[in-house]
Amino acid sequence: MVVLLAVLLAGTGISCRREKAPPPALPTLEPLVPATVLREHLRRKDPPLVIDTRRTGDYEAGHLPGAISLPCEELGRIPDDGLDPAVRDRLGQLLVDAGIRPGLPVVVVDEGSPRGFSRAAALCWVLALANHEDCHVLEGGIGAWHRARGRLVTPRFVPVRPGSPPRFPARPPAYAALEDLRRATASPETAIVDVRAEEAPGGIPGSLRIPLPPVLSPEGTVDRALLAREVEMAGAWPETELIVLGDDLLSGTGAWFLLERVLGIRLVRVYPGGFDRYQSWTFLPGASAEPPARQPAAP
């Protein structure tokens, strides 16, 4: 009887073996990646490329498994009068050496602090200049990885495959040159955004003020609700082109990441010279004695 049942089941194509369940779907890599989500992605086949933008000594003291070291300082100075071929070649070689190539997601890790967040965001901005949009930041940095009980290792990793030479246009959409800034001071279609601290002296006449420091916790995590309120109070609408100025390039790129990647504002550009450089150009509207008043949100 047992033999007959086995023959019948075989003839009908019915299998008594339990089918192997498919692996659970991975959480999506959002612009700001929680440490627990990154850990899941690193366990799977074809993980994202992890880039550590901390200083070399910090990297060597312990980093994420497989992370490639690319200290933020190596990005060097970004001029405010356009990306000439020498700058594009220099940045391109850094990306090639780090193993960055089209189609490969990148997650950037730095220290868990506001400055660490901005350093990580700076690399994502440089990748955006080369039309590589799939770049994410580990929220809370190396501190969040610690708190999630992530493992740290000390061997230096090199890319499994070399990167592909990126193509930097002379005027990338995420980059605002000095001439763009000059035009923005006289154009209603482009808003200049000052992201310095509320108490920072001076200001740009007619600019929007979105102070970045309150949005970031001491651990480098983002208060998304506060960020959205600050942007609404400033009157920065998703369809408005924005040019961001911070104290320096890093604070500008941090704000760029928050406004464009986290909030989804359509076009945000960074003036790499920062506020001090802006003030040095006498043909631009001078800084006022006090920060510009907040503009109320439109109804």
Q: How far apart are CA 117 and CA 187, in angstroms?
A: 31
Q: How far apart are CA 11 and CA 27, in angstroms?
A: 41
Residue 47 CB-density burial (10 A; 0-12 exposed, 13-18 middle, 19+ buried) = middle
Q: What's the confidence (pLDDT) of residue 296?
A: 32
Write the pLDDT tens digit of every residue in 225-238.
999 999 998 887 76
**Which residues of the chain fall below pLDDT 50?**
1-10, 13-16, 287-299
Q: What's the confidence (pLDDT) of residue 294?
A: 39
CA angle 36, 53, 57 (to 5 degrees): 105
Q: How far apart are CA 202 and CA 121, in angstroms?
A: 26
Q: What's the confidence (pLDDT) of residue 28?
A: 86
Domain limits, CATH 3.40.250.10, in the chain: 32-147, 178-280
Q: What's the confidence (pLDDT) of residue 115?
A: 96
Q: What's the confidence (pLDDT) of residue 160?
A: 80
Q: Which CATH superfamily is domain 178-280 in?
A: Rhodanese-like domain (3.40.250.10)
Q: How far apart are CA 251 and CA 115, in angstroms?
A: 8
Q: How far apart are CA 173 and CA 133, in angstroms?
A: 12
The CATH architecture assigned to 32-147 reads: 3-Layer(aba) Sandwich (3.40)
Strand arrangement, sheet containing 267-270: 208-209, 190-194, 241-245, 267-270
Number of other residues whose CB lies within 10 A of the CB of residue 98: 21
* Global confidence as pTM: 0.85
Q: Which amino acid type is present at position 241?
A: E
Q: How far apart are CA 131 and CA 110, in angstroms?
A: 22
Rounded alpha-carbon distances, angstroms, from residue 16 to 11, 19, 247: 13, 9, 67
Question: Any idea which residue has 């920060």 for tokens?
Answer: 291
Asked if 212 and 255 count as a contact pair (C-beta separation under 8 A), the reply is yes
Q: What's the confidence (pLDDT) of residue 235?
A: 83
Of 240, 129, 230, whose CA–CA distance to 184 is shortest? 240
